[in-house]
Amino acid sequence: MGKKAKPLEERVTDLASLEMLGKAERECIDTSFSRMDSQQTQCTFGMNGTCCRICHMGPCRITKTAPRGVCGADGDTIVARNFLREVAGGGAAHSDHGRHLVLLLKKVTQGRGYGYQIKDETALRRSAQAYQIVEEGRTVNEVASDLAERLLEEFKAQETSLQTLRLAPKRRRAIWRANGVQPSGIDRMIVEAMHRTHIGVDHDYRNILMHAFRTSLADGWGGSRIASTVSDILFGTPVPVRSTTNLGVLGKSTVNIVVHGHEPELTELLAMAVKAPDVKRYVKQVGAEGITLAGICCTANEILMRQGVPVAGNFLQQELALITGAVEMMIIDVQCCMPSLPEIALAYHTEIVAISDMAKMIGATHLALDKKDPLSSVKYMVKRAIDNYLKRDSKKVDIPPIKESLAAGFGVEAIKCKLGGTLRPLVDAVIEGQILGIVGVVGCSNPKFKSEDYVNKLTSELIKHDILVLQTGCAAIASAKAGFMNPETAMEKAGVGLRDVCKGVGIPPVLHMGSCVDNSRILQIATELIFEGRLGNDLSQLPAAGVVPELMSEKAVAIGCYFVASGLNVILGQPFSTTGSENVTNFLFEESKDYFGASFHVCEDPYQATNMIIDILAKARRTLGIEEKRLAPIL
Ligand code: SF4
Ligand code: MSK
């Protein structure tokens, strides 16, 4: 245990996690929670962004008595550079995910898809139209091939702006043009971010931060949007599904396979493999009652919204799932997979299988997918997991009997379908005041805080005040575990106006929109609300905002930036690592309003954050002239 052990009740809110943390303590297993203690006190220079190790004259740390690094860089430059590198890292992760999917689409069109196919022709044709690809009279393959090429161009473009920006409202594009932040090729933006932050290049903190916004737009309106688009084409546009979540989804007498990471290619095959007759026969031979396939983190969200596969947990539950002692195999790909997993697995019978060549892990078994027969590779993994079931030590098994029902799969198309084919009823509800506004609650979980406390208190307050909540990523899983996505019970927690709207159209007041790459879907729905008319002509006019309750990954920093650059105010549950520079902090939290009509805000208390959001939404309603329509909230 670390030096300053907190009581377990102060670490997590959900009872399943609490139970597993107790088991971890009894079995002397380190988790991210105990390692957070042993990392105390965390470095102030790192936290406030004033440590620079960009060149080997450093590392340099900025203090009152040493206000410049060896090269002469001041605190503003150093903090801004570190921030831009975070955005570049986050944007790279989501955009590379998008690239992998486009390359897969291209292979499918070339007959090299092996096991993958275009599942959703409507999604393909919808996207083809959006990118002005001629599709009339052409085969699916021809259209898909052109689309794949067009999307690959988005990564390669050197001097032209991203085509995907055309999907944004006209006024927003004009704002980007006027501020010179419309990105060109995604790869170029990220390379340029690294170049600008090399020693001796960009030293003007404003210029550096504007490139952070530019790079983030290449992610939100580029790589991430492309990832969601191609996922829908290859794996199907999500439709509402029912499922369950939390560690209690693991089976006592089934072979438990947990899939963790981000990219949907593997999970789709796994869902197929566990249903294969030969696999079903094989599982019988070991005396198990079947296979439970469950997800962790965003892979969970991907497989949940397309296959209804249960979610074992979010980021901070990846280790806890292993500590149940009931997981035969955890299969990981990229992003958010803790390197501690193999060590924890050693205490049980669990095998950690890593499938990505770019994400290997010491102690894990690396099993790459056979490019020509990936389904066979996946079946092989499943059979290995089944063999492993025989090694399960029942004395070490303790699955918390805790799980919650949820509804997910609310992509933009699904929401429209629920509303009768158009977003007009949602616009009407906003104008009539039944719904005060729309808020995206996104991001990760972080053991610095009592995990999920903020997100759940905030979500509860928001829906009570008639605010429709859209969620993705680990925040969505947190809310689902707390019952906010259970349509039967969540409705009762909503204000009267929101409840009536949700009941009328059959949606829960908190909508699961997908994985963290699917934050682009939140931008998409905000844009389509503008296109409906009557709510202004730019995203900054919408009564809408974003919240990142528990900031953890670099991706969350990039997401926050592309929300702000799109005109949506973003509230953070904790400050960025920029507090070492007043100028940088002021730029992000104040000055950015002058450029984008929105900025970041910090509010560490979820109740105060609710008030802040209500103010933001009310101000937007006043500007639109619809504030008098707001019904008095009945709480
Ligand atoms: Fe120090 Fe400048 Fe090198 Fe950074 S770039 S480590 S501030 S000398
Ligand atoms: S998985 S980036 S912890 S949402 Fe997308 Fe969760 Fe955040 Fe990873």
What number is the average pLDDT over the span 58-68?
A: 98
Please give the domain boundaries of the chain with CATH numbers for all domains: 75-235 (1.20.1270.30), 247-396 (3.40.50.2030), 410-624 (3.40.50.2030)
Q: State what percent of residues in the chain have pLDDT above 70.
A: 98
Q: Does the Cβ of 75 fall within 6 Å of ligand 1?
A: no
Q: Does the Cβ of 57 fall within 6 Å of ligand 1?
A: yes
Structure tokens at 50: 């004033």
Predicted local distance difference test score (pLDDT) of residue 634: 44
Taking only the tens place, the pLDDT of each residue in 379-429 is 999 999 999 999 999 999 999 999 999 999 999 999 999 999 999 999 999
Query: Could you tell me the distance, in angstroms and rounded to a whole number, from the CA of residue 99 to the centre of ligand 2?
Result: 19
CA 498 – CA 509 distance, rounded (Å): 7
Tell me what the pLDDT averaged over the chain comes to. 96
What is the pairing mode between strands 51-52 and 60-61?
antiparallel
Structure-token match 């275009």, residue found = 118
Q: Does the Cβ of 73 fall within 6 Å of ligand 1?
A: yes
Tell which atom from ligand 1 comes closest to the C-alpha of 68: 7
Long-range contacts of 110-115 (CB under 8 A, 24+ apart): 110/145, 114/371, 114/372, 114/373, 114/374, 115/269, 115/373, 115/374, 115/375
Structure tokens at 86: 């975070």
CA 140 – CA 229 distance, rounded (Å): 16
pLDDT above 90 (res 5): no
Quick one: pLDDT band at residue 561, thresholds 50, 70, 90?
very high
Count the neighbouring beta carbons within 10 Å of the beta carbon of residue 238: 27
Tell which atom from ligand 1 comes closest to the C-alpha of 58: 6
Q: Does the Cβ of 58 fall within 6 Å of ligand 1?
A: yes
Distances, alpha carbon 153 to alpha carbons 114, 133, 187, 614, 626, in Å = 24, 14, 10, 41, 42
Predicted local distance difference test score (pLDDT) of residue 429: 97
Query: Could you tell me the distance, in angstroms and rounded to a whole number, from the CA of residue 212 to the centre of ligand 1?
Result: 20
CA 484 – CA 407 distance, rounded (Å): 9
What number is the average pLDDT over the span 160-169?
A: 97
Quick one: pLDDT band at residue 1, thresholds 50, 70, 90?
very low
pLDDT above 70 (res 635): no
Residues within a 6 A CB radius of ligand 2: 297-298, 314-315, 335-336, 443-444, 473-474, 515-516, 552-553, 555
Query: Could you tell me the distance, in angstroms and rounded to a whole number, from the CA of residue 68 to the centre of ligand 1?
Result: 9
Query: Could you tell me the distance, in angstroms and rounded to a whole number, from the CA of residue 78 to the centre of ligand 1?
Result: 8
Predicted local distance difference test score (pLDDT) of residue 428: 96
Ligand closest to the CA atom of residue 72? 1
Distances, alpha carbon 412 to alpha carbons 103, 123, 229, 231, 265, in Å = 24, 12, 11, 14, 21
pLDDT above 80 (res 4): no
Taking only the tens place, the pLDDT of each residue in 568-587 is 999 999 999 999 999 999 99
Q: Does the Cβ of 43 fall within 6 Å of ligand 1?
A: no
Looking at ligand 2, which residue's alpha carbon is closest to its atom 3? 444
Of 319, 325, 356, whose CA–CA distance to 339 is shortest? 319
Tell which atom from ligand 1 comes closest to the C-alpha of 53: 6
User: For 47, what's the count of Cα atoms within 13 Å in the CB-facing half-sphere?
Assistant: 9
CA 326 – CA 250 distance, rounded (Å): 7
Q: Does the Cβ of 283 fall within 6 Å of ligand 1?
A: no
Q: Helix and strand tally (H, E) in the chain?
A: 27, 16
What number is the average pLDDT over the span 1-14?
A: 81
Query: Could you tell me the distance, in angstroms and rounded to a whole number, from the CA of residue 211 to the centre of ligand 1?
Result: 20
